[in-house]
């Protein structure tokens, strides 16, 4: 970053008005000296991809080759997918997916490097154990959002899915995270979604600075400053609810709540975690929302793009939803979600073509690791596998490059495979949710939410693209992430 740009930013910051001219001059001199410094990261004896870390997605030369992408933070090692099987047995303290993710988003600065056994246990055990209790609650919030936040759509109406689904997913998630009526608090929903955006945007801006300069640069980046405010605001918004619950627990006849607040509090008490307090609870709520909201929203957008581009799937999907809910007059219950096998298959096929990332299997080596081919991974190195090579699809799955929405529905018709090939299943051939010990713990929750939202849309609306859109909009890449284009979809109420 140019010194002139830095000076302009410094002059525009009222929070730095107290800095004396002398100190400002010293700071500028330090920045000017260090900006010319470029540390050459340690290189590995493997091919180096200088221009784009995504070239290997299109170029077969890199499919079976270990290579590196050099970054200011050191090399990122890309491994052929087969090595995921070798890394799978390692425990979290040996090869950590969470640490790799945190490093990728500069978690030390963005505050998402905060691993918590309280949060992990609440998601992995309590949330997954109680998912069946929330089907009706989540459906209620989804319905409420569409009734109160969505246009009437009496005629074909263009909808920005990125903006609209953000509210729907955030509110449906909040019903389980913070309970009712907090899940409908506009300020809370805005805070929980804004935090994730500040983390992503602030982290990317901070990456533009040399690592030596980041301790200083973080104070010049608006989103980085806002992250600290997001945490405080979350605590302030939660305190009335937490005080109310504290009063309730003193009453002997008070029924225990079933949501993430309650589970985190109980789990911290069970673990004897003395560091857990209201501030920590608010921080963990922000992290949970960040992990849940945006990836789920993106998966729904991809699925709706695929449905709108292939209208022949609408009728059979809609018929399945009607059939499985016939006994409850269209009201969703837990068993209905497992019975929606065609919808589950369509979701999985959509995610196969449009995964959240082409490197969903990432690990940070917490100990030195040697691979079977002799390649040595030093402690602290981040490695990742290309998990989305369609050519490596098993032959039994059929044509690998075709979009076959009922591919996995047919595979599950074999009695021995009836519980395999589900959207939330992880395997060597389906690593969209990761693989092994650090596979996404919230994938079952995400699967339920996506089904509830998609089934609601299919049951209440026709959807299509504008006439000018002739095919499914192409995705675009940001680093290793697969992003959906900002194409509007037309909705019309049935």
CA angle (75 as vertex; 2, 432 as ends), nearest 5 = 110
- 440 annotated among ligand-binding-site residues: yes
Long-range Cβ contact pairs of 140-148 (< 8 A, separation 24 or more): 140/175, 141/171, 141/172, 141/174, 141/175, 141/183, 141/184, 142/168, 142/172, 142/452, 142/453, 142/456, 143/456, 144/171, 144/184, 145/171, 145/172, 146/456, 146/460
Compute CA 355 distance to the chain's CA centroid, rounded to the nearest angstrom: 11
Tell me the two tokens of residue 452.
């509830």
DSSP H helices, 208-332, are: 214-217, 222-249, 260-271, 278-309, 314-324
Whole-angstrom Cα distance, residue 280 to residue 390?
Answer: 42
Residue in 185, 191, 152 with CA at minimum distance from that of residue 171: 185
Whole-angstrom Cα distance, residue 198 to residue 231?
Answer: 11
Whole-angstrom Cα distance, residue 120 to residue 42?
Answer: 34
Whole-angstrom Cα distance, residue 206 to residue 73?
Answer: 12
At residue 202, the 3 state secondary structure works out as helix
CA distance readout (Å), 309 to 336, 344, 347:
26, 18, 14
CB 90 within 8 A of CB 372: no
Whole-angstrom Cα distance, residue 67 to residue 458?
Answer: 44
Phi–psi pair at 414, nearest 5 degrees: -70, 125
DSSP character string of 332-393: --HHHHHH-HHHHHHHHHHHHHS-SBS--EEEEESS-EE-TTS-EE-TT-EEEE----GGGS
Binding residues: 440
Binding residues for heme: 440
């Amino acid at each position: 970053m140019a010194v002139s740009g830095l000076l302009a930013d410094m002059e525009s910051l009222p929070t730095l008005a107290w800095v004396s001219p002398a100190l400002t001059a010293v700071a500028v001199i330090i920045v000017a000296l260090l900006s010319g410094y470029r540390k050459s990261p340690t290189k590995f004896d493997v091919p180096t991809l200088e221009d784009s870390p995504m070239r290997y997605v299109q170029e077969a030369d890199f499919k079976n080759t270990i290579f590196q992408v050099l970054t200011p933070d050191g090399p990122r090692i890309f491994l052929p997918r087969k090595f995921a099987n070798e890394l799978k047995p390692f425990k979290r303290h040996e090869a950590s997916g969470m640490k790799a993710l945190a490093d990728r988003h500069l978690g030390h600065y963005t505050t998402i490097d905060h691993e918590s056994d309280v949060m992990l246990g609440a998601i992995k055990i309590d949330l997954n154990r109680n998912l069946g209790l929330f089907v009706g609650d989540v459906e209620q919030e989804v319905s409420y959002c569409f009734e109160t936040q969505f246009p009437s759509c009496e005629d074909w109406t263009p909808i920005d899915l990125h903006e609209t689904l953000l509210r729907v997913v955030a509110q449906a998630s909040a019903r389980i995270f913070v309970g009712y009526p907090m899940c409908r608090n506009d300020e809370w929903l805005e805070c929980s979604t804004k935090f994730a955006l500040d983390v992503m945007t602030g982290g990317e801006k901070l990456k533009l600075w040399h690592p030596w300069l980041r301790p200083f640069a973080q104070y010049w980046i608006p989103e980085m400053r806002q992250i600290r405010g997001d945490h405080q605001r979350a605590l302030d918004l939660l305190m009335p609810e937490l005080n109310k619950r504290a009063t309730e627990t003193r009453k002997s006849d008070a029924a225990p709540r079933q949501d993430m607040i309650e589970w985190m509090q109980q789990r911290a008490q069970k673990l004897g975690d003395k560091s857990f307090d209201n501030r920590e609870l608010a921080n963990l709520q922000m992290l949970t929302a960040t992990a849940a909201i945006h990836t789920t929203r993106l998966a729904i957008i991809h699925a709706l793009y695929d449905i709108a581009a292939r209208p022949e799937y609408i009728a059979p999907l809609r018929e399945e939803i009607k059939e499985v809910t016939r006994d409850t007059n269209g009201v969703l219950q837990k068993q209905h979600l497992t019975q929606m096998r065609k919808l589950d298959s369509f979701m999985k096929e959509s995610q196969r073509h449009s995964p959240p990332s082409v490197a969903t299997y990432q690990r940070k080596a917490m100990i030195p690791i040697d691979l079977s081919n002799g390649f040595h991974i030093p402690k602290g190195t981040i490695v990742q596998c290309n998990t989305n090579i369609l050519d490596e699809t098993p032959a039994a799955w059929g044509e690998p490059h075709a979009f076959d929405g009922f591919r996995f529905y047919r595979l599950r018709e074999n009695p021995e495979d009836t519980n395999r090939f589900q959207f939330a299943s992880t395997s060597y051939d389906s690593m969209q949710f990761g693989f092994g010990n650090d596979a996404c713990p919230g994938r079952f929750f995400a699967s339920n939410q996506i089904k509830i939202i998609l089934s609601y849309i299919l049951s209440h609306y026709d959807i299509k693209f504008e006439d000018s859109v002739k095919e499914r909009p192409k995705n675009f890449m940001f680093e290793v992430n697969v992003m959906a284009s900002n194409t509007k979809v037309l909705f019309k109420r049935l």
